[in-house]
């Protein structure tokens, strides 16, 4: 399945080095489960979003995915894509940028014709440049935020409640970031999303987090408090905590964390793996973590 990674360092501008697709095994023998795109979004010290991404298939071009990217900022979102909807194209590669916000998602949302009609009704269909369900979800969220006068959390909840009632959903785990704030949502149960609270000093403070898909390292963050979100625990820290399905977490510029179950009920049209197309089902397989 797609892998999500989010990092909030508060008001501090830090440098983090990311490797995407940091696989220890031979890429040539894992073509059936290789990523279909990798990307990294960050808000730099000036509060400007910078998104670097490429639609790579690992057996075609590993240079981008294995290259170390040293980026400086306050919030970071990394994503490794396993395509369920949309061609291998940079327009379909996460993260996405709309209205000065960065967004990434994993899961599957169905009923795209219904969702497209809703986006047309709201006059935001032009926000969707690619073919993915993810970018459509982001466009709906963006429209709702605009309708609430810029209230990100209210807009996110409005959009998610509409989706939960009107379209089939397998999973909508997402990360949404501004230069100062980050939101993380796990909904509903099929995919996991974890939180690591690094605001308190720890005996081994090295910030070197790694799976076989995403690797993040930062000397700045050895000493700087931070909060991390990931699709799986990416080190041996016992403080990794699995979010309850339906939970929305908000982290502000001072690393104040609020957490609430905002979607206690499953979607009205809950999809199972058996409902998915073979391509979508394969993309949602929870491959083992390193």
pLDDT at 277: 56
CB contact at 8 A, 193 and 59: no
pLDDT at 116: 97
CB contact at 8 A, 208 and 202: no
pLDDT at 28: 40
Q: What is the pTM of this model?
A: 0.85
Output 284 or 197, whichever has higher pLDDT.
197
User: Could you tell me how far CA 209 lies from the centroid of its own chain?
Assistant: 16
Helix (H, G, I), strand (E, B) or coil at 52: strand
Closest CA to 14 of 217, 272, 265, 251: 217
Q: What value does the mean pLDDT take over residues 183-191?
A: 94
Domain ranges of the chain: 3-283
Domain 3-283 indexed as CATH 3.30.499.10: no
* pLDDT of 172 over the 60 cut: yes
CB contact at 8 A, 206 and 222: yes
Give the phi and the psi of residue 195 in degrees, each rounded to 5.
-125, 135
Helix (H, G, I), strand (E, B) or coil at 65: helix
Tell me, letter by letter, the H, E, C secondary structure of 199-262.
Answer: CCCCCCCCEEEECCCEEEEECHHHHCCCEEEECCCCCCCCCCEECCCCEEEEECCCCCEEEEEC
pLDDT at 257: 97
pLDDT single digits (tens) 100-151: 999 999 888 999 999 999 999 999 999 999 888 989 999 999 999 999 999 9
Torsion of CA 55, 108, 41, 257, to 10 degrees: -160
Q: What is the mean pLDDT of the chain?
A: 83
Q: What value does the mean pLDDT take over residues 33-54?
A: 79
* pLDDT of 288 over the 60 cut: no
For the chain, give the percent of residues with pLDDT over 90: 50
pLDDT at 97: 92
Q: What value does the mean pLDDT take over residues 27-36?
A: 47
pLDDT at 65: 57
């Amino acid at each position: 399945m797609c892998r999500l990674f989010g990092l909030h360092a508060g008001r501090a501008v830090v440098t983090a080095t990311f490797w995407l697709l940091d696989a220890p095994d031979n890429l040539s023998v894992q073509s059936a489960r290789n990523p279909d795109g990798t990307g990294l979004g960050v808000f730099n010290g000036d509060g400007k979003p910078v998104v670097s991404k490429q639609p790579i298939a690992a057996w075609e071009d590993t240079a981008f995915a294995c290259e170390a990217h040293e980026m400086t900022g306050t919030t970071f979102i990394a994503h490794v894509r396993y395509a369920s909807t949309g061609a291998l194209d940079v327009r379909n590669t996460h993260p996405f940028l709309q209205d000065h916000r960065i967004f990434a998602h994993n899961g599957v949302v169905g009923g795209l014709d219904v969702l497209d009609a809703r986006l047309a009704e709201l006059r935001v269909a032009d926000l969707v440049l690619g073919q993915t369900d993810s970018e459509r979800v982001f466009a709906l969220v963006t429209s709702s935020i605009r309708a609430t006068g810029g209230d990100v959390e209210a807009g996110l909840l409005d959009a998610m409640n509409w989706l939960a009632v009107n379209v089939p959903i397998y999973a909508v785990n997402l990360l949404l970031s501004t230069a100062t704030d980050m939101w993380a949502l796990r909904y509903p149960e099929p995919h996991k999303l974890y939180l690591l609270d690094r605001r308190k000093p720890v005996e081994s403070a090295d910030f070197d987090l790694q799976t076989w898909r995403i690797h993040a390292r930062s000397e700045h963050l050895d000493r700087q408090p931070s909060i991390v979100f990931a699709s799986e625990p990416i080190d041996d820290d016992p403080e990794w905590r699995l979010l309850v399905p339906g939970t929305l977490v908000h982290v502000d510029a001072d690393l104040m964390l609020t957490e609430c179950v905002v979607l206690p009920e499953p979607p009205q049209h809950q999809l199972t793996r058996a409902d998915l197309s073979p391509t979508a089902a394969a993309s949602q397989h929870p491959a083992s973590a390193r």
